[in-house]
Every structure is written in structure tokens, then in C-alpha cells.
Amino acid sequence: MKNPFQQKARELVAQMTLEEKAALCSGKNFWESKAIERLGVRSFMLTDGPHGLRKQAGESDHLGLNVSVPATCFPPAAATACSFDPELMERMGQALGDECRAEKVGVILGPAANIKRSPLCGRNFEYFSEDPLLTGEIAAGLIKGIQRRNVGACMKHYLANNQERARVSSSSVVDERALREIYLAGFEIAVKKAQPWTLMCSYNMINGVYASDNKRLMTDVPRGEWGFEGAIMTDWGAMNDRVEAIKAGLDLEMPGPCDGNDALIVQAVREGRLDEVQVDACAARVTELALRAAENSVIAYDRDEHHELARQIARESAVLLRKGSALPLKKGTKLAVIGDFAKHPRYQGAGSSNINPTRITSLCDALDERKIEYTYAQGFAAEGKVDEALADEAVSVAREADVAVVMLGLPDSFESEGFDRPHMNLPENQTLLISALIETGTPLAVVLSTGAAVLLPWREQVDSILLMYLGGQNSGSAVLDLLLGEVSPCGHLAETWPLALEDTPCHGFFGNKGNVEYRESIYVGYRYYDKAGKEVAYPFGHGLSYTEFAYSDLQLSAGEIGENDSLTVSMTVTNTGGMAGKEVVQLYVAPPADGIFRPVRELRAFTKVSLEPGESKTVSMTLNRRAFAYYDVDSGDWRADSGVYAIQIGASSRDIRLTQSVTVHGAQPNTAINVKVPAYCSPSAVWPVPREQFEAVLGHPVPAERPLRPFTVSSTLGEVQACFVGRMFMKIVRKNVEKQFSGGNAEGMEEFTKIIDAMLEDMPIRQLAMMSGGALTPGVMAGLVDMMNGHYIRGLRKMKG
């Protein structure tokens, strides 16, 4: 279909001066693009997402500190991925689009599609899954919904940005198979299915090249291979070299103003170092965005309807980890409700996605509204230390109850944008409390509010565990609906919950500065645990229900297929229990065991089916060539080898109910690399992977670390404190940051102190320059670096110039 916006954008760019085109390639301010008024190209607004609108009406920041306009806080991605329901995500996306239209927002910054490489990542609550297929399908649903309202989605953070520590200065060292099969695949699926208006490049380097400068990742792969038609922008302050980024196809630098970099673009063209055609292409893509956004009129939305939708999404996403006799609650149950989160819910994460909710409904609010009797005890303070008086009160309340609902989870100070968790434990005050409550003998129904997997050493000693992740602003109503059995839990885990941090596949190679070696390669999440035969607390895809489901009658459309043929898989699901429910049917493909090293099985399709008691439905899923393929580095393409593949239908990666085989006639298996990398062939025997084996799949030695000296514009504020000028500069920066945020959200300042400190420590000088609003010009920055390297006179001259 012909794109009228694209053609019009090119016509407008043809009428612009070089200076105007360069100006369009950076923002006007923190949240707006520039306009070319003489040609009718309007400015458009971008705001943070991704599970709600964070539009700041006053002072702007990218940390969630300063107050934003009220908006619906839907459940974050850690929860919604567990719905396994792209259609539900489309409804959420439409609601987000309506709220953007109401606030004159043209592009919302989300969804975030980074793979959950480690449960320690502080921003995992914003990410969907450890699995790229699930990530891509859920992201595509959300994007479709947002853009159905003619608001642009911005899929982020592209690429291999899987930790918070040193995210702006580290280099993700990843082999090509892992990039293609794990880290690019989710973006690829969403781009092909939903065509987001924009992608956002990440801060980090990928194999030594900053994302913003990486032509292969900015242009060749998304535009050349996937057919991506939109614009690519930086994360806020993620620009490395503006001229190289134009060559790479990076269109929009945010935030603005970036007059110094605009001038560098013009200068490079004038000096013949940059082809003006490349500037035209970037300016045209930004102009096309502006034209699309200009079509919108302001609309109103119903806050109550969106609050109710948040409740439904939280219900559909909740995962019943453990099922006993306490749930659903029986009528007349003498109920105790314990935990700070019952009155003050943890419903979203901290950082740039922090939403100012239109309202908040806690579990206690929901109980009170429905006039359900219960006895409450705080038990612990979410951000406090061990309090024996609070714990003793909770124990007394639990002893008098038939069932105690215990609300546990992670506080904001444990997980946030800006830093990673050092461990997977719950706070000590909660751990001691649950141990004391277990001793009472009262059945405990634990409700967990957390943005990522945590360790639950007591999990077999409680009656039930209901995982909400972070349930959004109406999580209290959703929890009550589930506790009462008005709906049955139907979410399934989008990530594996391990038994110990040491069991995670990237343990020892996560959270590093400098080179971050992805030694686990393709073995992320269940791909590793299943291959290594590791026992886990809860496997990928796990989720229980108040009813039961039976699987039967697995049928394949063919017993043999060619490598380019599709295969239709059908089977029957029956609700054999006593109440209505929904089941997530998961289709895994297991490759031949004698081929190139691969996971035991991989999720290749899924569907969610709703069934009344006794009802049966036949579901069908279609597999194409990619379902049987791996990425062949030698040929630079996907390859399906000949052999017998198992089609496995399961309720989790460890609960396979039905299996049939299909023979694929494809390429001759090439197993030459296996002999060089025995750890990847048998992770249970050798793990972590030795360096020489990692370099064998990487195809080259691990790059040398960047030396501390001489200092450059890419040196971090933490690194430059090794010199006197750097220490003095850091003091000035800290003072200015404190001044900037002192008038912000005082209630949230303490929790954000850790974010600010962590981000400043790992922030390159060049990023600080871009975030300074033009105050730290390229000349001042160059002079400052010279002075840090001991060239004081030369540095002062540059700064004066």
C-alpha cells in the first residue's frame, strides 16, 4: 500500500535548507521535536510509557522524579506478558492511545522488548520475557492497539541492553547466533507484524560499537531485512557520534536542544565527510512522523473504564504458582489480611516509567468497598527494617483466622531503573514474618508483588501462592476477584523462577562494567535450564488454575515436510474441572539431538482458549520454516536441517502433555563446531562456558577493555574521578543535579537517590553534554577532557573558544 505521508515528507524535505534538515534530526526540548513552520511541519510531543502515559506538565526529567499528569497505570510488562494474550494487549494499547490523544502526545515511548537475561536486572518489570517469540507477539499486540489510535509506538531499547549497571558505557559482547535467535528476534516479530512508527536505540555498545553508530543494526537489519519503515531515535542522551549516527540511519536525537550536533551535521556535509542524501533520508523520516501526528485531534477518555480495564488485565495476567485448599476463599471464611502492600500496594516500578495514577485501589480498599469482613495487620513496613512488634501483631491475627492472605513483595528500593539487584531475596523483615506465620499452622495464601523472580525457600510450606507481578493501579480489585474465585487465574510464567541465583545461566557474567560477555549465548532462561537439566522453582510457562484441563487428539497436517513448507498443528483442550477457566496451550519444537548444538525445545506458538466446565475446543497453530530453523552464521541465513523434530504440546516447558514427530527434509546437518564447544553441547557437564569456547562461537577474541587513560568524551564520571579536575567536575555535576530535582516529588526522592548516584557514576561525559540543554557545548567538553588529561592551557583555550 502506498504511503502518502512518506511521499509528502520527501517533497517537503526537498524544499528545506541543509540547516533545516539538520535541525529536524534533534529535539526542540526534552519532550518535543522541532518544527519547520514555513513549510507547515509541526512539532510533536513524545512521552515516556510504556504501561501508562508519563507526560510531565512542568519541569522535565527522564527519571520519574518530577510530577506528571494523571494517567491510568496499567500493569507493567512483567505482568502482562504472563497473559499470553496479544488481543488483550491490543485493547490496552488502544486505551494508551486514547490517553495520548487526550494529552496531545504523538509518540509514546514503549513497549520495551529487552530479553530478561538475568532476574537481577533492575528494569525487568518493564520487560516481557526471557523468550523472544512471546516478547514479539505481546509487543506486537500492544503496538497495534496504540497505533490504531494514530499514535506512534516506540519499541525499545534496541539492542542487547539487558542490565542497568553501566548501561551507558558497557559493551554487550554477543555472538551472532544469540543476537539473531534471542535478542533481535522479538524486535523482528513485532516490526513485521505491527510496524511501530519508531524504534529507540539503546545506550550501550554491541560488540564494541555504540548502538547509535551501528549501521548494521540501525539500517541493514531492520530496514533491509525486516522491512521496517519508521524512524529510529536515541534513548535520552544515547548519541555517541552524530555524524556517524546519520550514516548509520539514526534519525532523531533526543532530548534537545542539540544545536552543537546539528552544526556538526552541516559542517560534515560542507566538508564532504557526509552525503547530504543521508541527511535527507533522516529528515524525511522525522517529517513523516510529524505529518502522521498532525492528523490527530484531541479526544476524551473515560477514566473509570480504563481503571476497570486495568483490573481485567491484572486478572488475566496473574499466575497461580501453588494451589492448595485455601483458594478460592470459601464463603464465611474468617479472614486475616497481612502485609503493608495490602494497604499500600506495589503496583508499578520506579524510574522513567513511573506513572501518576488516576486512582489506586488496594486489596483493603476492595474488601471495604464490598463490605467483606477481615482483620488487618501490617506485619512489616515495605521500606523498613525488622519490626518485632509488627510481626508479633500479624502472628496474633493469623492465629485467630481460618485463612491468612499475606501480601509480600519487593519495595521500590530493591528494583528500579538505574541499578540492578545484588541478590534475589525478599527483604529480611518479610522473610522473618513469613517464617513466623508458617509456625501458626493457619493456611497461608501468599500474594506476591514483584517486578521479577525472587527466591521462595518457604514455597512448599504455604497453602497457595498467587503471583501478581506488578498489577497496576487497580491491582487490589483484581486480587480480590481471584481470591474469591470470581475468576480463575489464567496467567503463565513468561520467565523461569530459579532455585538459586547461582543457577542462572549468566551468573558471573552479568552486571559487569566494560565488556559484558554473553557467554551463555543462546541458552537464556528455559533454553538453559532444560538443556542443563537444572531443577527450578517454577518453569517457564507454568501457571495453575482453579479448574483442570485435559489435552488430547494431537494432529499434524503432514508427517513429512520440506524446509520451506508450513505445518498445521491441531489438538483438543477440555475443561475437566468445575468452573470456567482459560488455558494457555504452548507449542514447543524439539530439534534432532544429533545436530548442531541447540536447546532441548523452543516455544514456537501458543494460544489462549476459554472453556466452560466440561467444554472442549479444538485449537490450531501453524508453523513455518523458522519454527524448525536456527541461524547459520556461515551462510548468514536461517537454516532448517534435515531430521526428525518433535512437536510438543505443553502447559509449561517442563509439562509436556502431547508429542508427535515430523520429518523435515532440509539442509544437511553441519555439526563441525560442536567439537570445539562441548560446553554448549552439554551444559550440565561444563558451565560456565570457558573463554576459548565462547570465542569460538563469537568468531573472534573478546575485545580488549577500553583503557582508563587517556580520558575521552566516552569516559564515565566515575572514571574521571581518578584525576583532580574530574573530581571537581563531579562535585559540580552532583550539586546541579540536586538543585534540578530538589523541587520534584519529595515523597519519591529517597528512592531515586540510588538511581541518580548509579547513573552519574556510569554516565559518559558526552551523555552529560547532551543532557545539559546546550550548556556543555562540544568545545567546552573537548577542553574539559584536555584538562583532565593534564593539558590545562590547551583545554582552557578550547573552552574559551
648 sits in which H/E element: strand 643-652
Residue where the block lists cell 492448595: 324
The active-site residue out of 175, 213, 235, 420 is: 235
Neighbours of 544 (CB within 10 A): 22
Task: Kindly report the length of the chain.
Answer: 801
Question: Within 13 A of 611's CA, how many CA atoms are on the CB side?
Answer: 29
Beta bridge partners of 142: none
**Paired sense of beta strands 205-206 and 171-173, if any:** parallel
Q: Give the gyration radius of the chain's Cα atoms.
A: 27
Taking residue 145's Cβ as centre, other Cβ atoms within 10 Å add up to: 25
DSSP letters of 403-438?
Answer: EEEEEEE--GGGSBTTB--S--PPPHHHHHHHHHHH
Helix (H, G, I), strand (E, B) or coil at 590: strand
Q: Residue type at 155?
A: M
Enclosing H/E stretch for 755: helix 746-761
What's the distance, CA 199 to chain centroid?
Answer: 14
* Non-local CB neighbours of 797 within 8 Å, separated by 6+ positions: 783
Q: Where are the beta strands (DSSP E) in 259-352?
A: 319-322, 335-338
Strand 46-48, strand 107-109: pairing: parallel
C-alpha cell at position 733: 555535576
Please give the distance of CA 691 from its chain centroid, rounded to a whole number. 28
Rounded-to-integer distance, Cα 530 and Cα 533, Å: 5
Bridge partners of residue 672, in order along the sequence: none
Q: Which position has the grid cell 481471584?
A: 482
Question: Residue 719: how many CA atoms within 13 Å on its side-chain side?
Answer: 23
Q: Round to whole Å and give the CA distance between 252 and 286.
A: 7
For every residue of 101-151, DSSP letters joined together read HHTT-SEEE--B------TT-TTGGGB--S-HHHHHHHHHHHHHHHHHTT-
| Nearest partner of 549 among 568, 529, 577, 523, judged by Cα | 577
Task: Please list the alpha-helical segments (H only) found in 447-503.
Answer: 475-484
Residue 497 has a CB neighbour count (10 Å cut-off) of: 22
Dihedral of alpha carbons 269, 273, 279, 282, sign: negative
The answer to whether residue 387 is catalytic is: no
Residue keyed to cell 480495564: 309
Supply the DSSP string of 704-737, one letter for each residue.
PPPPS-S--TTSBTTGGGGSHHHHHHHHHHHHHH
Q: Which amino acid is at 149?
A: R
Q: Mapping DSSP to helix (H, G, I), strand (E, B) and coil, where does residue 299 land?
A: coil
The C-alpha angle with vertex 28 and arms to 766 and 163, in degrees rounded to 5, equals 45
- 93 contacts 502 by C-beta, under 8 angstroms: no
Contact of 562 with 666, CB cutoff 8 Å:
yes
- Give the catalytic positions in this structure: 235
